Chains A and B, each alone.
Chain A
Amino acid sequence: MAPDLPPAGQPPRLALQDVGKAYADAGTRVQALAGVSFEVPAGALVALVGPSGSGKSTLLRLLAGLERLDSGRILVDGQPLVESGAVAYMPQRDLLLPWRRLIDNLTLGLEIQGLDRTEARARARALLPTFGLEGFEQAWPPALSGGMRQRAALLRTVLLGRDTLLLDEPFGALDALTRLELQDWLAGMWQAAGWTLLLVTHDVEEAVYLADRVVALGPRPGRVVLELEVDLPRPRDRGLLGSPSFGRQVGRLLAALGHPSGLA
C-alpha cells in the first residue's frame, strides 16, 4: 500500500534544483556535486545510492545546513532552505556522547532547544519501548550494542520534533543480521509515524527494498544518473528479494551506476 500522495500543486517536502558544491582538497578543487536535481515528496521514503565519491554525504550535509551550496537551490516545502533546523540529520556514526547516560543523550536536542529537563526526559522515556531501549536509560553508551546505539541515535534525531529525517548510512556499521532487523524496523516506524525520510546508502538492494524512489548518484562529480520509482507493494517482506521484479529494478540501478552485473 503506497503512502497517500500529496494533493497536486503542493510543493514537495524537499526539492533540490541544480545543486553544485566544490571543496578544496590538498590544494586541488574537487567538484563534489554538479547540477544535482531531485525531489522528496512529503511522507515518502527516498533512498540515495551511489559509490563513495558520489557526494551522498555532502548532499545530506547541505540539506542539514552544515555546509553552503555553491550553486543551485534547495527548497523545503517550497521555501528556500535558510539555515539548519528545518530537517533532522542523523550522521553516519551514532555519535552518542560518551559522557552522557543514554537518557541524557536522547534529550540532547531538546535541551539545546531549551526544554525543561524533566519534560525532555519524559518525552524520551515515552518512546524507549518503541525503540527497543527500555531498561537502558541509565546505561553509558559504550555498554550498548551497535544496534541499540543506532536506534538511540535515531530516537535522538526523532525527538528533535522534525518530521523530515536525513539518515546517512544508518545501518553501515552494523553486522548483517542486526542490519536486516533494523531495516524492517525502520520501514515499520516510517509507515506508522508518517515521516519523510531521505536515506543514504551504498547498498542498492537495501535502497530498493526500503524506498519509494531511489536516486542514483554517479561519482566525480556527483550527479543523478537514474531516478527510479520503485514498483513493489507495501508492506514489504524479505520474500520480495527473490522476485524477478526486485532483481530487475536492482539491475537497472546497478547498470546506471556502471556495474557490469547490472548490464545483464
Chain B
Amino acid sequence: MDSAMILQFLVTGLTNGILYAIVAFGFTMIFSATEIFNFAQGEFVMLGGLLAVTFTQSLHLPIFISFVAAICIVALIAGLMQRFIISPAATTSFVTLIIITFGIAIFLRGLAMFVWGKNPYALPAFSGEKPIAIFGAVITPQVLWIFGIAIVLFLILTFFYTKTIYGKAMLACNYNRDSARLMGIPAKRMVTFCFMLSGALGAVGGVIIAPVSMTFYDQGLAVGIKGFVAAGVGGMGSPAGALVGGLILGVVEAFGAGFISSAYKDIMAMIILILVLCFKPTGLFRTGTG
C-alpha cells in the first residue's frame, strides 16, 4: 500500500466523518438538553440538501443564498416540531418519545417524497469540479469546501458556547435544567432554540455533502443511524465526543472499505459501538455511569 492511497482513504473518510460528526453533534445537543433520542435528525440533513437543490436549480438563486435559506427553513421546521409535537408529549415515557420522533421522521420523509419525488438529486459543487492532486491523492474542490466549512462551524460553535450568553445559558440547561431555571434562564425557550440549532446544523451537513453524494428523500435514516453511532462512540451528550466519534467513524469506514471489504464496511461501525458500549458504556469522552 502506498502513501497516496492512504491519503485518499483518509480524505474520503474525513469527508464522510464530518457529516457524521455534524449529525452526531445535533443529536447529542438535543439529547443532553431533553434526553430525547431524536430519530428525525437524519431527516434534517435530507431536507437541507433537497431545499438547497430547489433553491439553486428551480429558483436559480446563488449558492450562498440557497445555503442560508435552506438552513433557516430547516431550523424553523425543527423549532415547530419541538414546540407543537414534542413539547406537548413531554411527560410520556422515553419509548413513546422515541416513537414520536420516528413518526416525525416518517412524516418528513413522506412530505419530501411528495414534494421532490423519489429521484436522487445532485447539487452543483460550490466552485468547479476540477480535481486537485495533492501528494498523489485526488481531491475535488468541494471536499476542500467541506473541510473549510467544518472548521468555520467548529470555531463558531466554540465561540457560541464559551463566549456568548445564549451559549452559556444553553450549556447550563444541558447540565442541570432545574438549577438553570432557578438562575433565571428561560429553560423552555432554550430547548426550542436547541432544536432549531440542531436542525440548522443538520441542514448545513446536508447542503455541503449534497454535491459529493446525491441527496434523496430516503437518505435520512441511514445518515441518522451513523450519527447515533458516532454520538454513542464519543459518549452521548458530549459535544467533543460527537465530533471525534464522527471523524473516527468516517475514517474507520473508509479504511475498512478500502482494505478489508466494502460490503461489510457498515458492520465495522456497528461493532465498534457495541464494543465501546460493552467496555465503556458512557462512550470514549464522557465520565459517569451508563
A and B: partners? no
Residues of A participating in the B interface, judged by any CB pair closer than 8 Å: none
